[in-house]
Amino acid sequence: MAEPTLGTGEVIVDVVAAPVLSYADEVFSGARNYPLDLPVIPGCGAIGRVRALGPDATRLKVGDWVFCDPTVRSRDDALMPDITLQGWSARGDGGLKLQHHFRDGPFAERIRVPTENAIPIGNIDAAQAPHWCAIGILLIPYGGLLALDLKAGETLLVSGATGNFGSATIATALAMGARCVIAPGRNEAVLADLRRRFGERLVPVRLTGDPAMDGETMKRAAPGPIDAVIDFLPPSVGADVARTAIMTVRPYGRVVLMGGVGMLGGGDLGLPYPWIMRNLVTIRGQWMYDRTAVPKMVGLVRSGLLDLRHFATTEFAVDRVNEAVEQAAADAGPFRLTVVRP
């Protein structure tokens, strides 16, 4: 590929490390049916250093360490901006149009991003860049927790807690001051590891597959009423599992949906209208995160509240990216991170 050329409102970044998402193989095989207009340099987010700036940058400097936020928004509709994930996916026709320009992702030596998507993280050692890639994973549940308006002292239930995003949700919620996180799942080894990492504020619950029994078990495990539920279940899980977790929330509680339930077909959530209405439950969907989430996430890391060392990283040179994709799929457990380093 040719060198990226700088335009107004853009920044060119030297990529130092880029994460390989655990489901990258499903995107490239077409199993997830993500819209990608080929040819494209793929990838989703990166850590790097500013190489060149456009005239609209007033704070960034050449050499600054930045997180390249893949969530690119159109600039001509503040109310309903179209969104593309640079090098990864797009939402709707407007997102595809946006993808035509900001098409190439970070599996390369350099990347061109909108100015607002090169977000400073402060000085780091180059050897730390792979661990800083973890904020690309953590930001997604952080966006959900901000949408949930999670407050310090509240009890949160994470549906899909033993997955990559679910476990990242646990770490982020505890860093935000959650009193307790309820972590339901079937993988006893992962549940035990979560308890070891986070102590008594993490309450594991082993699911049996019986909705009535599981719902009551989750409620009893909590130290009090469950204030909020966030769902990160993958597409392979049925809607009944998500419904059981959602209906553990207390009256006046909040629910955010961020997972993949229903993307491969199957039944709908089927939540009872009277239960939602009479209990004044708020349910909302959330995709990705607001721009302001990134500097807040950096603040959580810099303050020591959120420890990136939870993540075990495996590194590959960029010319071994196919091996990296295989590794990411095989090592898809909680706090596992595969990165490419151009």
Which of 267, 297, 34 has its CA nearest to residue 145?
297
Three-state DSSP class for 322? helix
With 90 as the cut, is the pLDDT of residue 266 above it? Answer: no
Q: Would the pLDDT of 314 be above 90?
A: yes
Q: Calculate what percentage of the chain has a pLDDT beyond 90.
A: 85
CA nearest neighbour of 118 among 238, 273, 4, 237: 4
pLDDT for 49-90, tens place per residue? 999 999 999 999 999 999 999 999 999 988 999 999 999 988
Instruction: Using pLDDT thresholds of 50, 70 and 90, give the confidence band for residue 149.
Output: very high
Backbone angles phi, psi at 216, to 5 degrees: -70, -35
pLDDT-based confidence at 235, cuts 50/70/90? confident
- What type of residue sits at position 235? P
pLDDT tier, 333 (very low <50, low <70, confident <90, very high otherwise):
confident
**Tens of pLDDT, residues 240-253:** 999 999 999 999 99
| 264 has pLDDT over 90 | no
Closest CA to 53 of 103, 117, 109: 117
Tens of pLDDT, residues 3-54: 999 998 999 999 999 999 999 999 999 888 888 888 899 999 999 999 999 9
Asked whether the predicted pLDDT for residue 123 surpasses 90, the reply is: yes
Tokens of 221: 């495990």
Task: Give me 326's structure tokens.
Answer: 């295989």
Output the pTM of the full model. Answer: 0.93
pLDDT of residue 174: 98
Residue 267 has pLDDT above 90, yes or no: no
Q: Is the pLDDT of residue 138 over 90?
A: yes
Ordered domains of the chain (ranges, CATH): 10-132+311-341 (3.90.180.10), 138-285 (3.40.50.720)
pLDDT, residue 241, reads 95
Check residue 36 and give its pLDDT: 82
